[in-house]
């Protein structure tokens, strides 16, 4: 499947589909049923708020990771997720993009009301200019991007079931992204593959 260049600088690529049916729906059902989904709380202005989604952090044992001020020890690779990681790497190599991943953050949005606020994935453990690959399963929703220095308008990238979005070097430095709430039904699971450089 050819990869579409959404932005050249910094590079943002979309491959649709990465996974065809019935593989994409089988993977969605397996992850939904088999993972130990968690909904941790974050402390904000002295109050605890459950995050508006569920998540699982998975990876090699040495890839511990700090996210929103908390440290996560990864779950061991689920075989289906390890297979998907290898498919993503194969697809990227075929597109001339060199990538390595030792971990993945899986996010589960039960409905359109569940969300992730504006952020960049710029934690020091990810290194200076990380490449992050996002596989989307289930409900098609837009990931919204905005430029930190407002040099161009914000834009949406709709992420179909089975698609792969690649945020290349510079995307985290120059833009933020968010999965904003939408009146859309259906569960969505995203897998954001990363390379954690150093154990924390």
Ligand X SMILES: O=C(O)CCC(=O)C(=O)O
Q: Which residues bind Fe ion (CB under 5 A)?
A: 121
Q: How far is the CB of 177 from ligand X (least distance, A)?
A: 6
> Minimum distance between the CB of residue 102 and ligand X, rounded to whole angstroms?
16
Instruction: Verify binding: residue 190, ligand X, rule CB under 6 A.
Output: yes
Q: Is 27 exposed, middle or buried (0-12, 13-18, 19+ CB in 10 A)?
A: buried
Closer residue to ligand X, CB minimum distance, 47 or 130? 130
Choose which of 14, 92, 105, 126 interacts with ligand X (CB under 6 A): 105
Q: Which is nearer to Fe ion, 121 or 140 (CB)?
A: 121
**Is residue 103 within 8 Å of 194, Cβ to Cβ?**
yes
Q: In what order do the strands lie in the sheet with 54-59?
A: 4-7, 12-15, 163-167, 132-138, 188-194, 103-109, 54-59
Q: Is 179 in the site for ligand X (CB under 6 A)?
A: yes
Site for ligand X in 143-172 (CB under 6 A): 143
List Cα–Cα distances, 138 to 10, 35, 44, 74, 185, in angstroms.
27, 16, 30, 24, 10
Task: Find which of Fe ion, ligand X, none residue 164 binds, CB within 5 to 8 Å per kind.
Answer: none
**Alpha carbon of 118 to those of 57, 106, 143: distances in Å?**
20, 17, 10
Q: Does 81 bind ligand X (CB under 6 A)?
A: no
Structure tokens at 151: 């040099």
Minimum CB distance to ligand X smaller for 91 or for 114: 114
Rounded to a whole number of angstroms, the minimum distance from the CB of residue 73 to ligand X is 17
Map the footprint of ligand X across residues 106-125, applying CB under 6 A.
Answer: 107, 116, 121
Separation between Cα atoms, residue 154 and residue 132, nearest integer Å: 20
- Phi, psi (deg, nearest 5) at residue 128: -70, -50
State the minimum distance, in angstroms, from the CB of residue 119 to Fe ion: 6
Candidate residues 3, 7, 63, 134; the one interacting with ligand X per rule CB under 6 A: 134
Q: Kindly list the distances between the CA atom of residue 8 and the CA atoms of 5, 25, 123, 168, 189, in Å, as whole numbers in the listed order.
A: 6, 31, 23, 10, 27
**Pick 46 or 185: Cβ nearer ligand X:** 185
Q: Is position 175 an interface residue for ligand X (rule: CB under 6 A)? A: no
Binding site for ligand X (CB under 6 A): 105, 107, 116, 121, 134, 143, 177, 179, 190, 192
């Amino acid at each position: 499947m050819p990869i579409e260049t959404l932005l050249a600088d910094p590079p943002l690529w979309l491959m649709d589909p990465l996974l065809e049916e019935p593989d994409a729906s089988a993977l969605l059902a397996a992850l939904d049923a088999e993972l130990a989904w968690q909904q941790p709380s974050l402390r904000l202005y002295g109050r605890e708020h459950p995050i508006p989604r569920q998540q699982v952090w998975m990876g090699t044992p040495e890839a511990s990771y700090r996210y929103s001020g908390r440290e996560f020890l990864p779950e061991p690779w689920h075989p289906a997720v390890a297979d998907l990681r290898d498919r993503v790497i194969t697809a990227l190599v075929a597109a001339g993009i060199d990538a390595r991943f030792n971990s993945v953050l899986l996010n589960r949005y039960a409905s359109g009301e569940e969300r992730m606020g504006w952020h960049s994935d710029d934690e020091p453990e990810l290194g200076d200019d990380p490449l992050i690959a996002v596989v989307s399963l289930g409900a098609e929703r837009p990931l919204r991007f905005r430029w930190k220095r407002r040099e161009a308008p914000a834009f949406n990238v709709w992420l179909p079931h089975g698609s792969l979005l690649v945020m290349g070097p510079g995307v985290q430095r120059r833009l933020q992204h968010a999965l904003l709430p939408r009146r859309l039904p259906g569960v969505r699971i995203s897998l954001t593959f990363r390379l954690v450089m150093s154990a924390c």
